[in-house]
Structure 1
Amino acid sequence: MDAKIFGNYIAARRKELGMTQANLAEKIHVTDKAVSRWERGVSHS
């Protein structure tokens, strides 16, 4: 799946659920910076 499409999906669902990036990050045990990168379709290799 394209990273941008996946990122848009994550952002849309997160917003539908009324969550911030920090809320989602805490729930799935990652950093809010990771969630931000996913939503922007950015990856670091």
Structure 2
Amino acid sequence: MKRRSPAILHTDDGIGYGVTIPDLPGCFTTGDTLVQAAEQLIEKR
């Protein structure tokens, strides 16, 4: 069974992006693009 958790997307004025999962303390990723940040998160799960 897959667990679903909300994600918070962050940007630093378009320079970089981050994704944080509030339900999982310490779970975050970054990337040069929003797609990269999301892909990093998928790889870490």
Q: TM-score, normalised by structure 2?
A: 0.30
Give 1 or 2 for the bigger CA radius of gyration. 2
**More strand by proportion, 1 or 2?**
2
**More helix by proportion, 1 or 2?**
1
